[in-house]
Amino acid sequence: MISFNIKGGALGKEEIENWVNSENPDVVFIQEIGYVENRPYFKNLTGADNPQVVNIFTRHKVINRGSLDFTNNAEGVFNDIQINGKIIRFLNVYLEPFQLHKDMVRPSSSIDRNEEKAKSLVRRFIPVFKLHAEEVMTMKEFIQQSPYPVVVGGDFNSVPNSYEYFTINSVLNDAFLEGGSGSGTSFHDYKFPIRIDYLFSSKEIFCQKYSVDRTYRMSDHYPILAEFSFKK
């Protein structure tokens, strides 16, 4: 499967289409899917008709689909998908963004200016952290109530040492830790790459392979690829 924040297709809709189609995935999570004219088309994959910010595409049978009751700018959608006789609940999320741009985190030669930038960032962070706390608790309860094994992914807008990460990792396995190696960083719009995109799975599902494709810059995020199987 693939999880990819495509930034509305603004940096290359056709390149995104060609890349996803070449990977021939079973399931695709898209975040920041964008306006209708920039939305990509994937061969042999279908998704919901009217996505807002996130969508799930698959070549398999969808038993049920729905959304999470988030507030503000967060979005979450799920599909119960039947694959090889088993039903898996796939949840794709985009948590509240911080609405940062590069000038906000770029240091200057002025100590006073840097201090003001730091204070401004703190003022922005606090209300978003509060929203994230509500959003991940909604996710955790939804995961725990699922009648099926779960795969959760998307853009958490949170780093791995965050409350958001540890809350979800307390009930699911981090796919990168199971099947990945090296750096799992995926967001590259700043000079320092960070990891804010994730895939998690239920205990009975094992990630055999996890990678971040940094070959192309089709977005301000790199896409995540993973292969899962049921534990025997």
CA angle 101, 93, 166 (to 5 degrees): 85
- In the chain (232 residues long), the average pLDDT of successive 10-residue segments reads 93 91 96 83 89 91 94 90 96 79 46 48 61 91 97 94 94 96 84 88 96 93 96 80
pLDDT of residue 102: 43
pLDDT value of residue 51: 74
Q: Which helix (H) or strand (E) holds 55?
A: strand 54-58
Looking at residue 36, its pLDDT comes to 74
What per-residue confidence (pLDDT) applies to 202?
A: 97
Q: What is the pLDDT, as a whole number, of residue 121?
A: 45
Q: Which residues are CB-contacts of 110 (< 8 A; sequence separation ≥ 6)? A: none
Place of tokens 């694959």: 83
H-helix or E-strand spanning residue 136: helix 111-144
What's the CA angle centered on 141, arms 79 and 212, to 5 degrees? 55
Q: Give the pLDDT score at 137.
A: 94
Rounded CA separation 110/27 (Å): 48
Residues 6+ apart with CB under 8 A from 57: 27, 28, 30, 42, 45, 46, 47
Q: Is 59 helix (H, G, I), strand (E, B) or coil?
A: coil
Ordered domains of the chain (ranges, CATH): 2-230 (3.60.10.10)
Spatial CA neighbour of 1 closest among 87, 83, 97: 83
Q: What is the pTM of this model?
A: 0.87
